[in-house]
Amino acid sequence: MKWKGRRASSNIEDRRGMGGGGKTLIGGGLGGIIIVLLFTFLGGDPGELLGNMTGSDSGTAVPYEESEQEKELADFVSVVLADTEEVWTEIFEEQGLQYKEPTLVLYSGSVQSACGAASSSVGPFYCPGDQKLYIDLSFYEDLQRKFKAPGDFAMAYVIAHEVGHHVQTLLGTTEEIMPLRQRMSEEKFNKYLVRFELQADYYSGVWAHHAQGMGYLEEGDLEEALNAATAVGDDTLQKRAQGYVVPESFTHGTSEQRKSWFHKGFQKGTIKGGDTFKQSSF
């Protein structure tokens, strides 16, 4: 991906070196519901969230030494975020809407959000309560080594997916879908979550379509994103973790579904066509 020398986003909040302990922010409405439903790229275990909801109200700053590799990666995610701002501002304007840019929070180890406290083990996530994306840059190494999904555009896909959740929040999809959790069984609600996550994959593909049109993509970039989407499918992750799959527990979709919906977004390049909730089959 051709990213060096391009505009970086100013919507970056660097909390690296800050402790992530904090009290639970439980309240009424959507914020309370989301407390165990962080929109994580990997479908993180809510236990990872709940297990970190103790401590003081604010983190403690400690010296953080940024390596050259981390600095370059921080610059990279800032440029990708700027690209998403440009693309989604234009798409929203075409729909007669105004795009509100999200903030991307860089953290190390653990972090406090409006959705509660979380550790880096849950992976990158989006919190609709504060409309912020959260990412520990060490996830880039996980993508390469643990998930066998190398490449800068694989990481760009991750960021674009979380921005996709922000788009869902702005369009009202999040507020419409998430309250269903209290009205149905977990197994039934998981089917809605899968469609919700696949829509975020579709939106990330929409961004990639426009990035290609801007001349930012290089040979092999699309394949990197598709490989990353395949690597983080529920079936693939469950096979790696436990040797078998439990379809009724899927929350993000299979590898084939995630790859397919990203590619659909990449081909179409518009919001239309991304209503996964009206699809009878995948």
**What's the token pair of residue 249?**
């527990």
pLDDT at residue number 282:
57
| pLDDT tens, N- to C-terminus, the chain (282 residues) | 999 999 999 999 999 988 655 443 333 334 333 434 567 777 654 444 434 433 334 445 667 888 999 999 999 999 999 999 999 999 999 999 999 999 999 999 999 999 888 888 888 999 999 999 999 999 999 999 999 999 999 999 999 999 999 999 999 999 999 888 889 998 999 999 999 999 999 999 999 999 999 888 999 999 999 999 999 998 999 998 999 999 998 999 999 999 999 999 999 999 988 999 987 665
Q: What is the DSSP letter of 18?
A: B
Q: Which of 92, 162, 110 is nearest to 132 (CA)?
A: 162
User: What is the token pair recorded at 11?
Assistant: 């919507």
Task: Please choose, from the candidates 168, 204, 196, the residue with its C-alpha nearest in 3D space to the C-alpha of residue 81.
Answer: 204
Buried-exposed string 243-268: b where 16+ CB fall within 10 A, e elsewhere: eebeeeebbbbbbebbbbbbbbbbee
Q: How far apart are the C-alpha atoms of 257 and 260, rounded to whole Å?
A: 5
- C-alpha distances (whole Å) from 41 to each of 89, 173, 200, 228, 238 are 23, 18, 10, 11, 14
* pLDDT value of position 160: 97
Quick check: 262 and 206 in contact, CB under 8 A? no
10 Å Cβ neighbour count for 27?
12
Q: What pLDDT was estimated at residue 110? A: 92
User: What is the three-state SS of 95-111?
Assistant: CCCCCCCCEEEECCCEE
Tell me the C-alpha to C-alpha distance, in Å, between residue 276 and each of 57, 119, 135.
39, 30, 26
Q: Which two structure tokens, joined as six digits, stand for 238?
A: 């469950």
188-222 CB burial, b ≥16 within 10 A, e <16: ebbebbbbbbbbbbbbbbbbbbbbeeeebbeeebb
The pTM (predicted TM-score) of the whole model is 0.88
> Structural domain boundaries of the chain?
12-278
- In the block, tokens 């990279």 appear at 76
